[in-house]
Structure 1
């Protein structure tokens, strides 16, 4: 199944391998550069079905660090277009971008909050910092929440114009959308807090706004943290309910990760540790899902698909180590996969 095509709207991926979005902390003023061109281009030459660009801030305060990528202006989008054009012209890969806002986890470097004169005031649904030592974030007003929804809309419009095939909304890892979802970081009493329905409202507003900028030639994914590993926090049952709602709002796939919102949460980590979350969401909510989390071997990935635990395999650290995991896996499994004609003399056929 790894080398079986799959469609989302009119977008067909040639295989189920996905380069998971991973921050590279290599931008100035949010601008992609030659490093990003080589970094993402090399993975497309390795046969990966979908290349996902890293978390990309929808406004300057949406970055995690001051070296994170942005798409809040047209110049940034034009730099990203060069990467998308290369991937489309020189490979069979599709390319997506993850639209993000860090919220209270912004203005950091090396996981430490940087001084205000070097960074910026962070924002959040409630006046609760990620770590007690950090500055209390600015609480977004309802009007400011609507402005953030518009930021996601404008970012999506730029991404479509830049040629991206898939837009992913980052709702995981303790960033702004996740902060709204969780009852531990969102203690609002207005229409964006309190009940499950109110806490998911911000995400649904974003989904609906972004979808208005898309058509059948651009698909929509949402990444979530299936659980935050904390008592009375967001959990897998909430995620199943959310996935059911996202399906009704024309989300094509739920990219299932976990954790990131509660400082010091104990996370049991082992090979494929998040796959059971993907499996439960896929089967109970009847949605397409992506599995991620220490998936490092071809047979491991194939088994996840064969068992029906996911529809796509998102690979992070392993694809940093080996940009050619997809094509090398095809040699191992004797399957067809894109291989650059310039490298043909190195192709293994037996």
Structure 2
């Protein structure tokens, strides 16, 4: 969109349009950003000075506006990272009732040690987590925060029974769950820049951050490839300068345990050779049997065996294979699993007569 037309949206009558512009046009000229940062509507100012934007790079507000933005409750959290932090301002922000303001303060490079230690004990675990991630945090303080985050785990069925919880308890449990999720995915650039001291760290996120470095000698690479945590092993494999051998690649994929459900798996980045894929066709683990169809020349007898596999995910995977005989492919059209049947129907090698029958049955 031409910049001059886009700039007109900063004066649009609808504040939702102006707020969207503030969030998406992160490289807007300074006059436009000034209009948005001083907009009379709270939502527009909040969108223009936020802790998160829809695109990068995140904009930096003009220096002369920062004091005003810091004084405004709706822009305060977004302005913290841009302010010059004197002692009085830091103390005031440390007492702010807005959790997001304290989170941002906990990351500020000029945070006084006394306030850093205070925020380490903040009732909001996400605030404490940001102190945990600071390079200047004393190790005893870091260890205490880590233990607190991991020890404050609610019962497994807490979310299913959330209706029995009062609002404060529910909010605390949700924030704790978010802090634990952030801890699992935390990666620290300052650890990656100087990885050697953290290869044996007691914190998984530190070892994973170290594994992202390209400065590790082969013995340490090997150690991290054999780490007890799946995320560390996988991260090291993805950042290893040398190719991963098939045995290690298979082991890392076999033991891959993502923190949440994702489609990606290590074998996507570390393809296994045909002989390994054919061996996996009879593996006891159905998740590993799903890899066998990645061999384009998979023997027909193995393809037929996988088409009759008791696991529906294995059957669905083989249903796309070009070497699966038409007889077996046609049989999968009546599979008890709808996803298997749909995948078989989409295979271009399906006999034309079956294609016409499906189309006719659908009334097309």
More helix per residue: 2
**Which protein has greater RCO, CA pairs closer than 8 Å, 6+ apart?**
1
Larger relative strand fraction? 1
Q: TM-score, normalised by structure 2?
A: 0.33
Larger Rg: 2
Provide TM-score, normalisation by structure 1.
0.34
